Amino acid sequence: MTPRHGVSRTIRTQVAIVGAGPAGLTLACLLAGAGIESVVLENRSRAYVEERIRAGVLEQGTVEVLDAAGVGERLHREGIVHHGIYLQFAGERHRIPLSELADGRNIVIYGQTEVVKDLIQARLDAGLALRFEVDGVRVHEIETDRPRVTFAHQGERFELECDVIAGTDGFHGVCRPAIEEHLRVFSRDYPFAWLGILAAAPPSSDELVYAHHERGFALLSLRSLDRSRLYLQCAADERLDAWPDARIWDELQRRVALEGWTLVEGAVLEKGIAPMRSFVSEPMAHGRLFLAGDSAHIVPPTGAKGLNLAIADVSVLAEALVDWYRTGSDAGLAEYSATCLRRVWRAEQFSYWMTSMLHRPGDDPFEDQLQLSQLRYIVSSEAAARTLAENYVGLPLDHSRAQASVVRGA
Ligand code: FAD
Ligand code: PHB
C-alpha cells in the first residue's frame, strides 16, 4: 500500500474505534469475541482514562453486556448488588424497592473507573490494538465503503483504512462534528450543576439516597465498603475553590440530615463540578460512521443513565456489525440509529423527570409544591413507584415494541 501525502504508514483494520471510554472499549471487546478486528484510538493517556471518576451505577443489562464482552469476573467479585434506593424529602426517608417493583431486576455499584480498567486490561492481555496519546484524529470519506482515520502517534503520521468507523469519542470528540450538517440536535441546559466528592469514609446508608431539600438536591452514593461518593446541587457557574472540604460536609450534613442517623465524614480524596445537560443528536449514524455513547447523547446524571446508555448503544452496534460481516445483511446497521434512539429518548425523559423533581430550580414556591406532591405520589402509589423502578433499573432494549403490544392487548 502506498501511503498518501504526509502519511508515513498506512494500516488496515475492519472497525476503527475513536475513543477509549466505556463505549469504545466495550465495542472493541465484543467485536474481538466475534473475531472482528478493530483498532482503538485514544487521545489521552492510559492513567488519565483509568482515573477519571464518573458514573457508579450499572444496570443489570449493562452487567450482562460486560459479561458477554468477557470482563465480568472482577465486577461480579467486587461489585455491590443493590435492590432499592431511598428518596428523602420533607425530613423523611422512603425506600423504593426496585427489585420487587421491577421484575426482580437489580443494579450493581461498580465504578466506571473499574469498568474501564477491566476493559483495557482485557484488550492488552489479548495483545489487541489500543493506542493511547494519539493526536489530531480526523475521519475521512465516510460516505464511501473505504472510510479512513488519520492520526499522529509517537511522532509518526498514520492512516487507518477500515470498513466502518465507530465514533465513541464522547461529547467533546471529533466524530459528531464531522457529520454535523446531517444532524438534528435537541438540547437543554439546567441552571445548576453537581459538586461531587470521593471520600475515604464507609457509606452511611446501605442504599443510595436521593434527597430533595430546600437548600438543594444531595445524593449519597458509594464506590466500595470504604469509599463514599457524594454530590451536592450547586450553581451552574460555581467555583470549586469556594468549597473547602468543611463547607462541603456542612452542606451535606444539612441536606441529608435525618433523626437517629448520622452521615459519616472522611478525608476528601477527589472533588469536581459536573455540568448538567440533556443533549441528543439524530441520527446516530451517517454513511460508514456510527456514533455511540456520549458522542451522540448526554443526560443529567440524576437517573444514573449515561454509562448505561453508552453500553446499550455498543451492544446494538456490535450485534449489527457481527450480522453484517457474517451474512452480508446491513439490516441491523440500517436500523442502528432508530433502535438506539428509542432507548435514548426514554432515558432522556426519565433523567429530565428525576432532575426536575429533585433539584431546586431557584426560589419558586409553586415548583416546590409540585415536586413535593410528585414525591409523595411516588412513595404512596405502587404504580408511580413502579414507573421509577422500571426506568431506574433499565428497560429492555426493545421496550418500545413490547409496550406497543401491551397497549394492543397482544
Ligand atoms: P467517554 O467516557 O467520554 O469516552 C470518550 C473517550 O474518547 C474519552 O476517553 C476521551 O478521552 C476520548 N476522546 C475524546 N476526543 C477524542 C479524540 N479526538 N481522539 C481520540 N479520543 C478522543 N454518568 C452517570 O451515569 N453517573 C455519573 O455520576 C456521571 N458523572 C459524570 C461526570 C462527568 C464529569 C462526565 C463528563 C460524565 C458523567 N457521567 C455520569 C456520564 C458517563 O460517565 C458517560 O455517559 C460515559 O462516560 C459515556 O461513555 P463514552 O464511552 O460514550 O464517553
Ligand atoms: C455515582 O455513584 O456516581 C452516581 C450514582 C447515582 C447517580 C449519579 C451518580 O444518579
Ligand 2 centroid to 271 CA: how many Å? Answer: 14
With a 6 A CB cut-off, is 41 part of the ligand 1 pocket? yes
Can you give the pLDDT at residue 164?
98
Distance 293 CA to ligand 1 centre (A): 8
Q: What is the per-residue pLDDT for 26? A: 98
- Choose the residue to mutate in 39, 58, 135, 169 for probing ligand 1, maximizing ligand atoms within 8 Å of C-beta: 169
**Ligand with the closest atom to the CA of 130:** 1
Q: What is the Å distance from ligand 1's center to 41 Cα?
A: 14
For the segment 20-44, the average pLDDT, to the nearest whole number, is 98
Q: What average pLDDT does range 208-236 have in this prediction?
A: 97
Q: What is the mean pLDDT of residues 57-79?
A: 97
Measured by CA distance, the residue closest to atom 1 of ligand 2 is 56
Using the predicted structure, report yes or no on whether residue 358 has a pLDDT greater than 60. yes
Does 397 score more than 70 pLDDT? no
| Ligand 1 site, residue 20, Cβ cutoff 6 A | yes
Return the minimum-mean-pLDDT range out of 64-68, 127-131, 374-378, 394-398: 394-398
Q: How far is it, in rounded angstroms, from Cα 406 to Cα 410?
A: 6
pLDDT at 400 over 80: no
In Å, how far are 54, 87, 151, 155, 250 from 253, measured between CA atoms? 23, 16, 49, 51, 5
Neighbours of 286 (CB within 10 A): 20
C-alpha cell at 66: 460486560
Ligand 2 atom index nearest CA of 304: 10
pLDDT at 1 over 90: no
The CB of 274 under 6 Å from ligand 1? The reply is yes
For 315-321, what is the mean pLDDT? Answer: 98
Element holding 80 (H helix, E strand): strand 80-82
Contact 271, 231 (CB under 8 A): no
Q: Is the dihedral of CA 175, 178, 184, 190 positive or negative?
A: positive
User: How confident is the model over 89-99, as a mean pLDDT?
Assistant: 98
- Ligand 2 is surrounded, with C-beta below 6 A, by 55-57, 208, 221, 229, 301-302, 304
Please determine, for residue 283, whether its predicted confidence score (pLDDT) is greater than 80: yes
Strands 57-59 and 164-167: unpaired
Amino acid at 41: L
Average pLDDT over residues 245-264: 97
The whole-number pLDDT of residue 116 equals: 98
Determine the pLDDT at residue 409: 44
The model carries a pTM of 0.96
Helix axes 60-68, 306-327, angle to 10 degrees: 40
Alpha helices in 40-111 (DSSP H): 46-51, 60-68, 73-78, 98-101
> Which residues have a catalytic role annotated?
82, 210, 301, 305, 392
Task: Supply the mean pLDDT for the chain.
Answer: 95
* Percent over 70 (pLDDT), the chain: 95
